[in-house]
Structure 1
């Protein structure tokens, strides 16, 4: 009999412009990354990891093993928060240390660039036909 596989850690984030504009403290920042109402421990773990890296010498954290005990959190919450932070590109492990990563910021800038590219008005009938083709493909019609 097969055992059920582990549920992968979600990389979803809350991209609500109003919530992002209203961020005024670290808790609200953590809510963008862990928006579920019952994700209090994951948000706390997110902030603990974030602040531990921030306050580490040269912003290089050797391990996250001490964080659970230091802040009274479950190790599973630390692991899930760290996994999500790694997958979306906020942090990474380099040379044995956990450090901040620029991947998330670069990804958002790349997304913005692509959106701006597609907002440029088309000039030719060929470009209009190409737009119609993309709409047709998105509908699943060949």
Structure 2
């Protein structure tokens, strides 16, 4: 975490979240039945929402590093975060996809769904938190059981 963040960093993150949530609600992507219709190839509206977001993001990622040396609010240098494609990414993505298909909503849209009155989505949100917690416990136990390297190695 950068210590030289601009004082408007947190308010702008909050404002961005509000805009994102409003956009999800406005485009009806916070309604699980719309997402399930997309996953069943009955409604391709979600595809247009995703393409619109990808186009805006792509333009910003292409232009901003040319206009500035660092991010305006954090002062961090622009750069790519490369994550290797490994077994954990594949398994985690599959588990995420199954959860998305069962609940009919992704994590970001689940919170926006609360804003449109979908209280039953709380079950999915509780499940997301429980799953993340259990994965953290599993990872901690796995790290604790691995042998620690010694200085003689």
Q: Same fold (TM over 0.5)?
A: no
Which structure shows the bigger proportion of residues in helix conformation? 2
Which structure shows the bigger proportion of residues in strand conformation? 1
Structure with the bigger RCO (C-alpha within 8 Å, sep 6+) is 2
For normalisation by structure 2, the TM-score amounts to: 0.27
